[in-house]
């Protein structure tokens, strides 16, 4: 056995095959059943000429088939590719080409777009349709687990969400991605698991499996690894096809969910309102975690009030770093200005432009060493800029800025690529967004920089008000000044019916920037 993702999954299957592994869209599979179906799919792909290092696209909402395709690819030493289900034809064509897709598993609802794009993807030689020929393909193949020996060096690729540009494929070794995202390093203690059997052994020894519920789309890394990590630990993983706040709480009640994972306010805020509206049994829940997007202090406090016995945590990280830090929240905490203030792991530091760690009170970029990606797929220039070596140690530095606090914790400020430079002052959108969303009339907000003749850029806020509310710029300015410095408050305000976000819940900064510039031009 290697530190390889299929091996890790098969190790737990061999110990707890009778346990329920996956609950999705009315279907329930044990570990043994999930493994058997993944074996059948792997044999089908192999019979179609798919093998080691071949890219297999997955174009689907959350589903049993999404998970099966990931596992089948790992079994073959092939590379599953996460595809955003909101892509238009040009974006789909980009990912087909950039990822070198050889095979594609897609839901039948996307057949028209696939038919439009596939003829221009010369490497694509096989497609399989969920809701079409998928089940017949599995039925025709062997359920046996008779694959070649695998390696910890097998390749895994996770495409970024494209929050600030075109998605990039982040290339990991299997062992490295398992270490930083799958539990191969304990997220709380920073200790490395002693061997490749530890997770499965501990999971099998548990008197009953936990039930974990990653809510984001599986094509997003947080949900993908919430699912894989849950499986590696012998838990039951619950999934819903697409985010619906009331369906989340119905699932918690029905499946007796223990752990929920969300991506910031985009999910947590509508879920909060649904919880306040409904009469849901949440007594099974003991952990609520957020990662990858802004989780406002006011929203956290509301959850701590409604769910007093639930541990609420927030993690920071990136596709290029994996887990980087964790914070456990208590009610009424003072925000230190910016995003979450977290305890970082032993492989994470904050460095200046000279590659040296910054001091207390200073701002630098978060850098992670240890088990980090090899490169960006087919992008040597960006790879050289992100994966750098200082004093003989290699780091991943994707561009998240943070400030070092006096107690050794760090406060995340935001991604440098969306930082607003106004008269030489650096303003991080997440900090302003958090201040705006603490106003009672604001449901959601994205902050961007727009041109300013005097200062170069000024802060503009694209705001989705609560129903029936029309907050004015002056009102929001006064409110924000109680939370952040005056130079950071919005100078322009654009009200919209609905904020557009990535399916993962991350801000769609290019959309907000384009909207603000068009609205200015038409004013």
C-alpha span between 327 and 342 (Å, rounded): 5
Per-residue pLDDT tens over the stretch 167-178: 899 999 999 999
The backbone torsions φ and ψ at residue 359, rounded to the nearest 5 degrees and listed phi first, read -90, 180
What DSSP string runs through 365-426? EEEE-SS---EETT-HHHHHHHEEEETTEEEE--SEEEEE-TTS-EEEEEEGGG-EEETTEE
Per-residue pLDDT tens over the stretch 444-485: 999 999 998 888 899 999 999 999 999 999 999 999 999 888
In sequence order, the β-bridge partners of residue 462 are: 446, 494
Edge-to-edge strand order for the sheet containing 169-173?
A: 155-159, 169-173, 375-376
Pairing of strands 101-107, 155-159: unpaired
Please tell me the predicted confidence (pLDDT) of residue 297: 83
The full set of domains in the chain, from first to last, is: 422-522 (3.30.300.30)
* pTM score, whole prediction: 0.88
Please tell me the predicted confidence (pLDDT) of residue 164: 53
Please tell me the predicted confidence (pLDDT) of residue 334: 63
- Per the CB < 8 A criterion, the answer to whether 285 and 254 are in contact is no
In sequence order, the β-bridge partners of residue 58 are: 82, 105
| Cα distances (Å, whole numbers) of residue 330 to 297, 299, 316 | 10, 12, 17
C-alpha span between 96 and 56 (Å, rounded): 10
Q: Show the low-confidence residues of the chain (pLDDT under 50).
A: none
Q: Is the dihedral of CA 98, 231, 397, 160 positive or negative?
A: positive
- Per the CB < 8 A criterion, the answer to whether 342 and 315 are in contact is yes
Pairing of strands 259-262, 387-390: unpaired
- Per the CB < 8 A criterion, the answer to whether 173 and 370 are in contact is no
279-301 burial: b if 16+ Cβ within 10 Å, else e: ebebeebeebbbbbbbbbbbbbb
Please tell me the predicted confidence (pLDDT) of residue 298: 84
Give 3-state DSSP helix, strand, coil % of the chain, rounded to 5: 35, 25, 40
Please tell me the predicted confidence (pLDDT) of residue 108: 98
HSE (side-chain half, CA atoms, 13 Å) at 340 = 28
Q: Would you call 282 helix, strand, or coil by DSSP?
A: coil
Pairing of strands 169-173, 155-159: antiparallel
Closest CA to 490 of 416, 424, 433: 433
Task: Please report the beta strands in 215-263, taking only residues with DSSP state E, as ranges in sequence order.
Answer: 236-239, 259-262
Please tell me the predicted confidence (pLDDT) of residue 329: 85
DSSP state at residue 197:
T
Give me the residue label for tokens 């440098």.
416
C-alpha span between 2 and 8 (Å, rounded): 8
């Amino acid at each position: 056995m290697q530190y390889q993702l299929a091996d890790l999954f098969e190790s737990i299957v061999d110990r707890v095959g009778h346990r329920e592994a996956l609950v999705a869209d009315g279907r329930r599979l044990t570990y043994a059943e999930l493994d058997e179906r993944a074996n059948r799919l792997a044999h089908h792909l192999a019979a179609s000429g798919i093998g080691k290092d071949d890219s297999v696209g997955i174009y689907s909402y959350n589903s049993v088939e999404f998970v099966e395709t990931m596992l089948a690819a790992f079994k073959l030493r092939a590379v599953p590719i996460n595809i955003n289900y909101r892509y238009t034809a040009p974006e789909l064509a980009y990912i087909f080409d950039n990822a070198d897709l050889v095979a594609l598993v897609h839901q039948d609802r996307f057949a028209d777009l696939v038919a439009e794009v596939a003829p221009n993807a010369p490497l694509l030689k096989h497609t399989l349709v969920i809701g079409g020929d998928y089940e017949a393909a599995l039925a025709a193949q062997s359920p046996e687990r008779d694959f070649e020996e695998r390696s910890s060096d097998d390749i895994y690729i996770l495409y970024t969400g494209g929050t600030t540009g075109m998605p990039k494929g982040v290339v990991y070794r299997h062992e490295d991605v398992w270490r930083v995202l799958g539990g191969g390093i304990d997220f709380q203690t920073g200790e490395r698991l002693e061997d490749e059997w530890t997770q499965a052994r501990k999971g099998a020894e548990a008197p009953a499996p936990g039930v974990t519920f990653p809510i984001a789309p599986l094509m997003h890394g947080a949900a993908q690894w919430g699912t894989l990590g849950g499986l590696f630990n012998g838990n039951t993983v619950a999934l819903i096809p697409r985010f619906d706040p009331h369906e989340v709480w119905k699932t918690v009640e029905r499946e007796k969910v223990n752990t929920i994972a969300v991506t910031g306010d985009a999910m947590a805020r509508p879920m909060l309102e649904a919880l306040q509206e409904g009469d849901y049994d949440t007594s099974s829940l003991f952990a609520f975690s957020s990662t990858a997007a802004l989780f406002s202090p006011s929203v956290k406090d509301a959850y701590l009030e409604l769910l007093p016995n639930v541990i609420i945590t927030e993690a920071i990280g990136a596709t290029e770093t994996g887990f980087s830090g964790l914070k456990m929240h208590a009610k009424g905490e003072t925000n230190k200005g910016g995003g979450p203030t977290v305890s970082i792991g032993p492989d994470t530091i904050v460095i200046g432009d000279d590659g040296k760690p910054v001091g207390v009170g200073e701002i630098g970029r978060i850098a992670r060493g240890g088990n980090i990606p090899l490169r960006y797929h087919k992008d040597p220039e960006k790879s050289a800029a992100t994966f750098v070596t200082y004093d003989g140690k290699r780091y991943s530095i994707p561009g998240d800025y943070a400030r070092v606090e006096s107690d050794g914790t760090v406060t995340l400020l935001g991604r440098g690529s969306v930082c607003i430079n106004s008269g030489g002052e650096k303003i991080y959108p997440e900090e302003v967004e958090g201040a705006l969303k603490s106003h009672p009339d604001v449901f959601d907000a994205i902050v961007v920089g727009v041109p300013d003749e005097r200062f170069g850029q000024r802060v503009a806020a694209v705001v989705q008000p609560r129903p029936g509310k029309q907050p004015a710029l002056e009102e929001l300015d006064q409110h924000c000044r109680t939370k952040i410095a005056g130079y950071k408050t919005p100078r322009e305000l654009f009200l919209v019916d609905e904020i557009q976000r990535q399916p993962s819940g991350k801000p769609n900064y290019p959309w907000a920037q384009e909207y603000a510039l068009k609205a200015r031009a038409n004013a």
